[in-house]
Amino acid sequence: MKSKEEIDITEVWKCAVRDVSPEWYKAARLAQEGVEAFFPYVSSCQLASAIPDHVPIQLYTRFDAEVFASGASSFSVVKRLFARPGLRLFGLAELHAKILLVDRRFVSVGSQNLTVRGTKNLEATLFSDGLHNATEVYESTANWKSKAFEVNSDMLAAMEAALPYLRKLYAAFLKEAHKCNEQVQFHREEARRRREKIAKEKARVEQLQTEASTAYVLKRRELLHAIDDFCPDGRVSEEFAKEFIEYSAWTKNSWGHGPRPAEGAARNVFHVPGLGWCWNCGANINRHKLAVSFAILECKRIIGDICDDSTYIETHPYGEILERLKNAVWSCVADSNHQWNKDWYRCEDNCLMFGYHKINLCDFVQRILEYLPVKEVYERWKYLVSVM
Number of domains making up the chain:
3
Average pLDDT value for residue range 347-354: 88
**Residues 205 and 244 grouped into a single domain:** no
Residue 254 has pLDDT above 50, yes or no: no
Average pLDDT value for residue range 300-326: 89
C-alpha 292/C-alpha 22 separation (Å) is: 105
pLDDT tens profile 117-148: 777 888 888 888 877 777 888 888 888 999 99
Alpha helices, DSSP H, located in the chain: 21-29, 46-50, 65-70, 75-83, 131-140, 142-147, 153-229, 238-248, 292-308, 312-315, 318-330, 361-371, 374-387
Residue 191 has pLDDT above 50, yes or no: yes
**Residues 96 and 122 grouped into a single domain:** yes
**Residues 138 and 250 grouped into a single domain:** no
Q: What are phi and psi of 129, to 5 degrees?
A: -100, 5
Residue 4 has pLDDT above 50, yes or no: no
**Residues 260 and 305 grouped into a single domain:** yes
Average pLDDT value for residue range 96-102: 91
Residue 317 has pLDDT above 80, yes or no: yes
Answer yes or no: is 4 within a domain.
no
| HSE (side-chain half, CA atoms, 13 Å) at 140 | 20
Answer yes or no: is 384 within a domain.
yes
* Least confident piece of the model among 121-135, 207-221, 254-268: 254-268
| HSE (side-chain half, CA atoms, 13 Å) at 269 | 25
Answer yes or no: is 319 within a domain.
yes
pLDDT tens profile 50-63: 999 999 999 999 99
Q: What are phi and psi of 338, to 5 degrees?
A: 65, 25
CB 299 within 8 Å of CB 292: no
**Residues 355 and 317 grouped into a single domain:** yes
Answer yes or no: is 161 within a domain.
no
* Least confident piece of the model among 17-21, 23-27, 109-113: 17-21
Last residue of a domain, one of 151, 178, 206: 151
Q: What CA dihedral angle connects 194, 197, 199 and 200, to 10 degrees?
A: 170
**Residues 175 and 88 grouped into a single domain:** no
**H or E stretch covering 249:** strand 249-251
**Residues 45 and 175 grouped into a single domain:** no
The residue range of the domain holding 274 is 232-371
**Residues 385 and 364 grouped into a single domain:** no
Region of 32 please: left (phi>0), alpha (psi -120 to 50) or beta: alpha
Last residue of a domain, one of 127, 151, 175: 151
**Residues 145 and 181 grouped into a single domain:** no
pLDDT at 7: 46
pLDDT at 257: 54
C-alpha 241/C-alpha 330 separation (Å) is: 16
* Least confident piece of the model among 41-55, 109-123, 264-278: 109-123
Q: For residue 169, give Cα distances in angstroms to 105, 172, 174.
A: 44, 5, 9
pLDDT at 255: 47
More confident residue, 252 or 192: 192
**Residues 21 and 129 grouped into a single domain:** yes
* Cα angle for residues 186, 190, 194 (degrees, 5° grid): 170
Decide: residue 95, CB within 10 A, 0-12 exposed, 13-18 middle, 19+ buried: buried
**Residues 25 and 139 grouped into a single domain:** yes
pLDDT tens profile 78-96: 999 999 999 999 999 999 9
**Residues 218 and 241 grouped into a single domain:** no
Answer yes or no: is 121 within a domain.
yes
Average pLDDT across the chain, whole number: 88
